[in-house]
Amino acid sequence: MPLAWLRRLAKRAAARLGIDEEGVFAISFIDERMMRRLHGQFLHDRRSTDVLTFRYACVPAACPSTIGEILIAPSAAHRYANAHRLPYREELARYVVHGLLHWLGHDDRTAAQQRKMRALENHLLIQCVR
């Protein structure tokens, strides 16, 4: 897993998105069983998903602290990348950017929202992947 590269990508994407709050994002990689459990617990949907994002309040006295958490299921990224003949690294990058967009409040529940998020993801990935 290209962790240093993903860290640089996340920093570039966050800067492009104007995320400049003090604090840190935690990006964690978890298995699909845990992802399904957390998806059910927090979003009341027992199906598996590929990315979950949590936004935490940053109390000034406690900053810098964790302001957000992005959970990624790398096995889902691997399966999707194989099925669509994409590089695994590229799919992981998309999941990081997708998580940042969710942190900003973007949603992807409807087809129109999905198209909008995909366009934003593509734009950010073009700008941030080197």
Which residues sit opposite 24 in a β-bridge? 66
Per domain, the residue ranges of the chain are 3-128
Look at residue 30 in the predicted model and tell me its pLDDT: 96
Q: State pTM to two decimals.
A: 0.89
Predicted confidence pLDDT, tens digits, the chain (130 residues): 788 999 999 999 999 998 876 777 889 999 999 999 999 999 999 888 999 999 887 666 666 666 889 999 999 999 999 999 999 999 999 999 999 999 999 999 999 999 999 999 999 999 998 6
What pLDDT is recorded for position 52?
96
Phi, psi of 44 (to 5 degrees): 55, 40
Architecture of the CATH domain 3-128: 3-Layer(aba) Sandwich (3.40)
Task: Enumerate residues 6+ apart whose C-beta is below 8 A from 45.
Answer: 39
Cβ neighbours of 17 (radius 10 Å): 17
